[in-house]
Amino acid sequence: MALPRKLKFYQLSADGKGYLHDVPELTLPKLARKMVDYMSGGMDSPIKSDMGGEPMTMDWTCAGMLPEVFGQFAAQKHDAIGLRFSGAYQSDDSEAVQTVEISVRGRHSEIDSGIAKRGEDTAIKVTSELSYYKLTVDAKVWLEIDVINMVYIVDGKDLYADHRTALGL
């Protein structure tokens, strides 16, 4: 029986600069679809109709002062900042390490500098609003969402290709 793969080590990079020892915690983006009830006269009960994706965010915590994060605040472009989570996952019944990478693009909507108190641990909490997401596991792309360019690829299938064609894109 196989044991689950657990995150052993990770790093967050922002625009190519690695924060191996500076980000003790992060919340990876939640992926959600907006589903609304649809029911017509010939239906006994409603079904959920998929109306597209919900907003994606990533929350992360900096251990101490990272001034470059403040230099990224109030970016004018929706995809101004590139963030990359790279993680090493391993189960306790194998020596094999699974590589997981989540690449996102967006901009910060909030920087919470927290409490400043001498002799205490300090942290800065950042919320990044995302317009791009890509999940790669062991060099295979499982999911890619490019909101602006209307790209939605799941396990190699571009779900929006026919929609772009219909719109003449």
The fraction of the chain above a pLDDT of 90, given in percent, is 91
Indicate the average pLDDT of the chain.
96
The size of the chain, in residues, is: 169
Output the CA–CA distances (angstroms, integers) from residue 15 to 81, 84, 114, 115, 160, in the order listed: 6, 8, 24, 27, 28
pLDDT tens figures, 118-157: 998 899 999 999 999 999 999 999 999 999 999 999 999 9
> What average pLDDT score do residues 25-36 get?
97
Q: How confident is the model at residue 2 (pLDDT cuts 50, 70, 90)?
A: confident
Instruction: Answer whether 0.85 is exceeded by the pTM.
Output: yes
Q: How many CA atoms lie within 13 A of 35 on its CB side?
A: 6
Judge whether residue 1 has pLDDT over 80.
no
Residue in 14, 22, 48 with CA at minimum distance from that of residue 123: 22
The pair of three-digit structure tokens given for residue 112, joined into one six-digit string: 């919470």
Collapsed DSSP state (helix, strand, coil) of residue 161: helix
